[in-house]
Amino acid sequence: MILSILLSLILIGLGMIHFNWVIGGKFGFVESLPTKENGERVLNPKKIDSAIVGIGLIAFGFFYVLKSGLIEYNLPEWIIKYGSWIIPIIFLLRAVGEFKYVGFFKSVRKTDFAKLDTKLFSPLCLIIGILGIIIQLIK
């Protein structure tokens, strides 16, 4: 239960950061975007992109609130069965990355984003993925 609540707080917090960007906030926005060595952004997300990711993260967070048992709500069994594996797999894949700009195995390592990705973003995704698997295995 404690791990589910912790994971839900992390995911909802990340979702709120994305919604902050939707309403024009700047906190962490530039730092969260991968760049090429020349400083050119690899991604140029629009507000709708941040909103979609924010909705997904908050939905994942509420999934773990429900999984914790704090709120009694019966989701269809297939959502619990597959969601419990899909969510951690998404974050583990993000931690591994796409081998160029993002993840532990990226080749571009000297940009500001790459340094933050190595120290913060990828480890956070790895922790989220591992916690999700632990929660699945102990339930």
Q: What is the longest distance spanned by two Cα atoms in the chain?
A: 51
Residue ranges of domains in the chain: 1-24+39-138
43-102 tens-digit pLDDT: 999 999 999 999 999 999 999 999 999 998 888 989 989 999 999 999 999 999 999 999
Cβ(51)–Cβ(20) below 8 Å: no
In 3D space, the residue among 8, 103, 129 whose CA is nearest the CA of residue 57 turns out to be: 8
Mean pLDDT, rounded, for 117-135? 98
What pLDDT does 51 receive?
98
16-39 tens-digit pLDDT: 999 999 999 999 999 999 999 999
What pLDDT does 74 receive?
83
> Could you tell me the two tokens for 119?
């120290």
pTM for the full model?
A: 0.94
